[in-house]
Structure 1
């Protein structure tokens, strides 16, 4: 991970994190207010119960005075309070959770939208598994903050305030003694927060590493099994998993020490104080049994919410760390190149010109050096060269996935910077060597760019690229389900569907990135016919390994180490007897020997 991405793992201050979490709750403030009042009512109803018991003991049981009407009112009041408390607590819990789920829904949409807006340079260096972990695991932890922590904290804090109010009502002096316990509880919380922040940050990062390795292993399972690397990959996965386990275990030991055990010690101390007080008081004056019962009851009720708060501190800390990671990603600004200026030119012809363009992915080593060429409207330009010569980099710049280091790129006479990304992506069609299909059916993949496309329009696009025949032969035709990345289809079938998807937009400029390099000879004939249909009357730039497929290109550029080594037509380049001729002859020889065209190029490069 580079230095820029290290910023994503540095902790965000928890005060700032908590403030931003509250901002997400702000749109729901009215319903939160209703839930808060229900919470207050339910807590108050629950707290009045022991006082009614104290009244019964001291005013009726101890003097053996049992007026029926008064006792019935007292009993009905006690039962009513419990029923009312149960109803109000159920309602507030339901309301808090409903609000929490809506907040998390909005948060997940926001972070996914943010990731979609990041430039491709970000995805080149940041592991996909780490992103998945932030969007799923981390937001799930934040959900627990809203669902089980905030409502619980509010309820228990209000309960604690109510308990102290009731204690002061019963005995001011003894309540003041119990107040001494509050600073000790705060000290325990501060210590827990200090150590748990470090442990949970480490734990979250190890989980991201775990997801990244898992994602990489699943994507590359074919290679792992081909080279029999299962044991090595298992060992590496085991090491990452063990580091995650150690981070978890540290947090568990901290929880075991500073959560319930420490609070239980304070609870015992408080009980000793109360019993000692009433014991000493009994030596000089009679003890009110009802007050003793109520005080011990409140003391027990006081430490129960403290225990609940302490136990949820671990969830709170995990959620705050996760929320900080989510907000770090949302704040990260590595967007792709954007429009400059207020002009809004349209691509009507497809005339392309590169002027002295230089480009580097990492800012240190150039992959393109002073590249200049022009493709006029309706012409076909072919780019050839060894792997790493800069062919795909030219395409990346033309699609404005990356920004050039120097030079200018023009489309229809306007600087590429002046175009909106929407206009570029709509008017420039890109077909990759390894087409990406999404889970769904064939029709949904073709109408990917325009969900309003009719079935007839989908079928017309497929017919245009010669894909209709094979699609019709599928079990359910255009409704046939496509597996992840199109794994249920052959490479040629995936390519034809990607052709149909591209041509459904009727682009002015067509870019073909080695579109025939991974298909068999029989399918290649179908694809070549499709390419001929697609290239007609539109500007086309084709990257090709098979030089036989670009003989009829209007212009061919041979790239070598990021520079233009040769250029001209097929015949002109052969006549020069330079690099292109060597590549062509080696490919012809490779064909005769049964080697791939890529093997031929690599032989020449060697």
Structure 2
């Protein structure tokens, strides 16, 4: 894993990124060859220039001048062609890698436990899947290959300098350690700076995402001023992190320019002195060639430092993405049992469970449901009602005990098979920013329009949907904001009914809807629970009189069990709940 330290480069992490180029070996090596070709064309330019000065101009050979000029033109055209190939395929490779990585990351996130999302910032995860991925792509399009090409140019320029005039070459090489040292320090500082930049980008994205999602709460409690102040503080930290990178750039690049100019000045002075005193330099073309070669040697150093910035940002982003990919937060899916359909018998046997170690939520509960039986679970908030539903769907694994479906441990089932036989209608219904039809089918194109309408009529919601503009094609916008809570729940009933589940779970919520919608929900409830095992988390006790069994929960224990009449006769906890709610409704 990459560490957020001043270490200039993490080789292990870089190898891990490069491993994702294996499916594109041909493109990878082709891009590398294009970089070599670019180097060859680059060094030809000063060599031709030297010949133009020494062999054509000084010898007054007009024919040779034309030939060398045409050769220079051909070299420049070749440079353009290979630069085009190099740039396109380096970018293509980067985009292909991040496409594959993004698919892998999203697939990984789809399998995480609910507990992972309870503890993670959604804004941060979005940053990892979008912005950080683009940074990884830039490792190839703007970083690695560019650095390789520049290093090759520097090597070629150094060799030609030594071959042409070792004295002038030594002058240049004597200056080189200054810029090499400055580059090294620059790289280390930028690694730390870019780590801070990515952290502040994540904080900013997370803050904005949460406040936009919860804007109603912000406005209801008049928190606009406080949130604006907090945003300014976070935004300022983000600005300061970026300014630190600008500060380092402001130092490094002028230093690089000054050192390059000094090298050119020394070469012109010493080369000219040798020529004047006849101490070894007979060809003025060498001095012209050296000026271009110094540019080839020093300019890539500047570019390498700049590209290394991009590479470092990509490496930091890769470290963050791989951290998610390496996260072990998955429900073990080792079951082999994959029935096409189950009968729906449910048994909890001495089930203990805790969301956090040492904070047990369920204390060894046991109950049994026969196939087709309807049971209601009642109790105060925090009693453990919703936890039972989470465990049945294996969003979490239990600490001890056993949960059985049709007599088999639910861990024996394939996870997809288990969940496909259970449908859940939650109190807080989530709808995607899409049409009602697509929210019902969830893009399952095996469900036709006629089939959807037939199911809607069966549970009594077709008339309501048809009354909307566009009917089933009506776009409900983000989180279904264009519909009321009761309307969203009706859509959720239809979504569950279309899947014909063996087990249906209803988080009943009719306390905040109008009388007409409540009647529609009651009608839908009776239809969707018909002839299938049903669990209803009851909020209004008056709506569960017809169920076969009622489980009464208190502080993670089942304290009472029986029918509505039986529990009232016991004069226990259920009786108190019922009386309290009945009296409250009478007052209303």
Give the TM-score normalised by structure 2. Answer: 0.95
Shift in Å at residue 445 of structure 1? 1.0
**What corresponds to 1:307 in structure 2?**
302
Distance 1:347 1:118, change over 3 A: same
**Residue 148 of structure 2 corresponds to residue 125 of structure 1:** no
- Aligned to 2:398, the other structure's residue is in SS state coil
Shift in Å at residue 409 of structure 1? 0.6
**What corresponds to 2:187 in structure 1?**
193
Shift in Å at residue 512 of structure 1? 0.6
Q: For residues 280 and 449 of structure 1, what CA distance do their matches in structure 2 show? A: 79
Equivalent residue runs for 1:135-534 within 5 Å: 135-257=129-251, 259-281=252-274, 282-285=276-279, 287-340=282-335, 342-344=336-338, 347-448=341-442, 450-534=444-528
- Aligned to 1:369, the other structure's residue is in SS state strand
Contact 2:186 2:305 in 1 (8 A): no
What do residues 252-298 of structure 1 show as CA deviations (whole Å, max 9, x unaligned)?
Answer: 222222x3123223313322432343244233436421111111121
Q: Which residues of structure 2 form unaligned runs of 5+? A: none
Paired residues, number: 584
What do residues 15-34 of structure 1 show as CA deviations (whole Å, max 9, x unaligned)?
Answer: 22211111112221212222
- Aligned to 1:437, the other structure's residue is in SS state coil
**What corresponds to 1:46 in structure 2?**
42
- Aligned to 1:296, the other structure's residue is in SS state helix
Distance 1:10 1:166, change over 3 A: closer
Q: For residues 208 and 436 of structure 1, what CA distance do their matches in structure 2 show? A: 25
Q: For residues 89 and 182 of structure 1, what CA distance do their matches in structure 2 show? A: 27
- Aligned to 2:351, the other structure's residue is in SS state strand
What do residues 203-225 of structure 1 show as CA deviations (whole Å, max 9, x unaligned)?
Answer: 21222122222111111111111
Shift in Å at residue 360 of structure 1? 0.6
Q: For residues 418 and 453 of structure 1, what CA distance do their matches in structure 2 show? A: 29
**What corresponds to 1:562 in structure 2?**
556
Shift in Å at residue 191 of structure 1? 1.9
- Aligned to 1:353, the other structure's residue is in SS state strand
Contact 2:2 2:319 in 1 (8 A): no
Q: Which residues of structure 1 form unaligned runs of 5+? A: 1-6, 595-606
What do residues 24-83 of structure 1 show as CA deviations (whole Å, max 9, x unaligned)?
Answer: 1222121222222233223322321221121121123223x3252x33322211111111
Contact 2:461 2:490 in 1 (8 A): yes
- Counterpart of 1:21 (choices 17, 25, 30) is 17
- Aligned to 1:450, the other structure's residue is in SS state coil
Shift in Å at residue 346 of structure 1? 5.8
Contact 1:358 1:370 in 2 (8 A): yes
Contact 2:191 2:309 in 1 (8 A): no
- Counterpart of 2:110 (choices 105, 116, 120) is 116
Q: For residues 33 and 173 of structure 2, what CA distance do their matches in structure 1 show? A: 26
Contact 1:9 1:325 in 2 (8 A): no
Of 535-544 and 562-571, the range deviating more from structure 2 = 562-571
Of 43-52 and 315-324, the range deviating more from structure 2 = 43-52
Contact 1:433 1:517 in 2 (8 A): no
Equivalent residue runs for 1:589-600 within 5 Å: 589-594=583-588
- Aligned to 1:273, the other structure's residue is in SS state helix
Q: For residues 441 and 357 of structure 2, what CA distance do their matches in structure 1 show? A: 38
Contact 2:349 2:364 in 1 (8 A): yes
- Counterpart of 1:34 (choices 30, 35, 56) is 30
Q: For residues 159 and 191 of structure 1, what CA distance do their matches in structure 2 show? A: 22
- Aligned to 2:424, the other structure's residue is in SS state strand
Q: For residues 165 and 390 of structure 1, what CA distance do their matches in structure 2 show? A: 76
- Counterpart of 1:546 (choices 540, 544, 550) is 540
Shift in Å at residue 515 of structure 1? 4.1
Q: CA RMSD in A?
A: 2.0
Q: For residues 56 and 216 of structure 2, what CA distance do their matches in structure 1 show? A: 81
Contact 1:382 1:543 in 2 (8 A): yes
